[in-house]
Amino acid sequence: MHPAAAWLRVQSPLHLAVILVAAYVALQLALLVGSEVSRWGKVHLGTRHVPSAPGSNWLLGHVFPLASSCAWEKMYEWVGANPPLIKFRIFHRIGIVVGDPNGLKRIFQVGAADLQHTHRSPAPPRLAAHCRASSPN
């Protein structure tokens, strides 16, 4: 008899169930960590050439500068000193501030073109018409 088969015959069903559940949880955790590392790598590599805002902490990022004053004013100050893009970090999340209206228009146009290639549909036309009707202009 194979040693693994002998070991399985000796173990109780509850013990085997605990081992299977632990193996399943370990696999799910490994997949989660792998996907987060992959996502972080893509974001980090994609934003490595964007200049970073001043006053970053190695662990917390820009939490203290953003919390000490109005966050929007601080971002406006950063992008004014280093146009047209600035990168900031809160813990492990990276944000981008765009200070150029033409650059922002280009980002939105490229994003709209990408929506046509996904399975999600953009906002329904009636919702878009309602948003235009309620705008202050």
What are the pLDDT digits (tens) for 90-137? Answer: 988 899 999 888 888 888 887 665 555 554 444 544 444 444 444 444
Q: Which domain, by its residues, includes 13? A: 1-49
Please check whether residue 90 lies inside any domain of the structure: no
Please check whether residue 76 lies inside any domain of the structure: no
Per-residue pLDDT of 43-69, as tens digits, reads: 888 888 999 999 888 899 999 999 988
Please check whether residue 136 lies inside any domain of the structure: no
Please check whether residue 27 lies inside any domain of the structure: yes
Q: Is the pTM of this model over 0.75?
A: no
**Angstrom distances, CA of residue 29 to CA of 19, 24, 119:** 15, 9, 28
Please check whether residue 20 lies inside any domain of the structure: yes
Please check whether residue 38 lies inside any domain of the structure: yes
State the total domains in the chain. Answer: 1
Contacts of 97 (CB under 8 A, 6+ apart): 53, 75, 78, 79, 85, 86, 87, 88
